[in-house]
A and B are shown apart, each in its own frame.
Chain A
Amino acid sequence: DADVTQTPRNRITKTGKRIMLECSQTKGHDRMYWYRQDPGLGLRLIYYSFDVKDINKGEISDGYSVSRQAQAKFSLSLESAIPNQTALYFCATSDSWTGGNTIYFGEGSWLTVV
């Protein structure tokens, strides 16, 4: 079983609809992240959370919101989806060692907004 699980893995939604991507992890890590991947643009950080009461905006947070429901759960919402939010979304975790943290990625969620 994957240590970082994302649901759904694939979703097609219509413009203007609300969509939530969920992430859960069994690694016991404090830190969780949401990234978006687009061809030629690499992985861009949307939001990150260093513990349950901590939420921070990343590089491209506009149009997105997040919720850290528990240490193991971090969900990403698109309140009103638009076509340019079509992308591959990754949830990720890392531990809180300040010397440098390996980031563990989920398997990704393909989102298409039509």
Chain B
Amino acid sequence: GQQVMQIPQYQHVQEGEDFTTYCNSSTTLSNIQWYKQRPGGHPVFLIQLVKSGEVKKQKRLTFQFGEAKKNSSLHITATQTTDVGTYFCAGITSGTYKYIFGTGTRLKVLA
């Protein structure tokens, strides 16, 4: 079945350093979404990417969708303590209408 892997599983950074998490799917995706889960909270939608090679920015966050639509990345520039949490990608393949979530990357930011 469809699998979505994320690396790294954990990342500790010093405040101000950059951070990137990578998402890889075993199948081609129709679109991909990113979610953030704060400690003790529930996942909250961040963004959706649909087009091959698409790049979107939200302030210090940059999201990319690969040309082959099988991978994606989230890059945070100059991390802040408010960035702490687990970041999930979620991919959907054509015709399935359900999202498969990645394994998540847990980010810790040290002040």
- Chain A residues in the interface with B (C-beta under 8 A): 33, 35, 40-45, 48, 50, 56, 58-59, 90, 98-108
Across the interface, name the chain A residue whose C-beta is closest to B89.
Answer: A42
Q: Is A43's CB under 8 angstroms from B101's CB?
A: yes
B31, B33, B102: the one within 8 Å of A103 (CB) = B33
Q: Is A102's CB under 8 angstroms from B45's CB?
A: yes
Q: Is B6's CB under 8 angstroms from A45's CB?
A: no
- Number of B interface residues in the complex (CB < 8 A): 26
Residues of A within 8 A of B50 (CB): 99-100
Q: Is A59's CB under 8 angstroms from B100's CB?
A: yes
Residues of B within 8 A of A102 (CB): 33, 45, 48
Give the CA-CA distance A13 to B9 in the complex, in Å.
30
Complex interface residues of chain B between 96 and 111 (CB less than 8 A to chain A):
97-104
Give the shortest distance, in Å, between B4 (CB) and chain A (any CB).
8
Residues of B within 8 A of A40 (CB): 9, 103
Give the CA-CA distance A114 to B37 in the complex, in Å.
27
Q: Is A108's CB under 8 angstroms from B33's CB?
A: no
Q: Is A48's CB under 8 angstroms from B98's CB?
A: yes
Q: Is A45's CB under 8 angstroms from B33's CB?
A: no
Give the CA-CA distance A104 to B1 in the complex, in Å.
24
Across the interface, name the chain B residue whose C-beta is closest to A94.
Answer: B99
Give the CA-CA distance A107 to B50 in the complex, in Å.
28
Q: Is B43's CB under 8 angstroms from A100's CB?
A: no
Give the CA-CA distance A44 to B33 in the complex, in Å.
15
A-B pairs, top 8 by smallest CB distance, nearest first, are A43-B101, A42-B103, A105-B42, A42-B104, A102-B45, A100-B31, A42-B101, A105-B43
Q: Is B42's CB under 8 angstroms from A90's CB?
A: yes
A43, A58, A99: the one within 8 Å of B88 (CB) = A43
